[in-house]
Structure 1
Amino acid sequence: MTKFWIPVLFWAGVIYSFSTLQVEPASTISWQDFVVKKSAHLVEYAILFLLSYRALLNTTKLSRTKSAFIAFLIALLYGASDEIHQSFTPGRGPNVRDVLIDGLGAGIAWFGLWKYLPVWPRRLKNLAKILQIS
């Protein structure tokens, strides 16, 4: 059971460690740096969603939909708590926009699961036929 939650906790720790880093004030960073940082938010919380979803599916009797919803809430609430944590880091502060971006990252991952996971086995079979693996 815990083997599924260890990656979630590890990844939450990675996100936490990024939040402790001091950054330049927003007025001095370039737009490219801004895009990279916001993209990092998307990816960080998409990964947190996927790890949480996997842990919930394997350690509870929840349906896939309920597991996805709870994983989304975990990512969103962790994003909110991360912004509160940043208010105690010199040079940083809480930003509601970042919480929304975190939620968007989790939402994109959820959409990817809903849209693409059901067709992956078929696509892998087709690829195996093309590559003459099976």
Structure 2
Amino acid sequence: MKDRKTKSKLILIVSWAAVLFWMGLIFYLSAQVASQSDELSQGIAERLFGVIAKIIPGVNGDFLLSNFVVRKSAHFLSYLMLGLLTTNALRRSGVKGVRHLVIAIGICVLYAISDEVHQLFVPGRSGQIKDVLLDSGGAIVGTALHRLFERRE
């Protein structure tokens, strides 16, 4: 019984550590000045286009559009992951029913708002309400996916 309790506590700690790590990663990426952030996005877009071009020969896309898509997809996917991690941590903390979903979404939305406020103080960056909405959408999808996986168990 003691081993089971210890294992459960360890899983709980790791679950919340994953949430904090992911939040730290989001903060780190948001703290990059505009040129640094744009360079990262362009590199990802170039690699992505390289892969797509190998799969679909002759594909031609607008590079600026692809960079835009990469940047906005990063918002959505990073908060989707945060939603998954936060929902999991709350569930493992014993929050039951729909409450863990609502609380997880609330945490993610508040973090998205704070992230955009943070970007107001980073050279060349700006805080945008549409990014908060995109982040929130990702978080909602992440919590919904967690709920879906949870029901399958």
Superposition TM-score, scaled by structure 2 size: 0.69
What residue number does 1:98 align with? 131
Note the C-alpha offset of 1:115.
4.1
Note the C-alpha offset of 1:112.
2.3
Unpaired runs of 5+ residues, structure 1, are 122-134
Relative to structure 1, the CA distance from residue 52 to residue 118 in structure 2 (aligned partners, 3 Å threshold; closer, same or farther) is same
1:81-106 per-position Cα deviation (integer Å, ceiling 9, x unaligned): 00000000000011000000000001
Unpaired runs of 5+ residues, structure 2, are 1-11, 39-62
Inter-partner Cα distance in structure 2 for 1:11 and 1:111: 19
3-state secondary structure, aligned to 2:98: helix
Superposition TM-score, scaled by structure 1 size: 0.78
3-state secondary structure, aligned to 2:32: coil
Q: Paired residue for 1:40, among 74, 86, 101?
A: 74
Note the C-alpha offset of 1:108.
1.3
Whether the 8 Å CA contact 2:108–2:136 is kept in 1: the answer is: yes
Inter-partner Cα distance in structure 2 for 1:6 and 1:116: 21
Q: Paired residue for 2:146, among 89, 100, 113?
A: 113
CA RMSD of superposed structures (Å): 1.9
Identity %: 35
Code of the aligned partner of 2:108? A
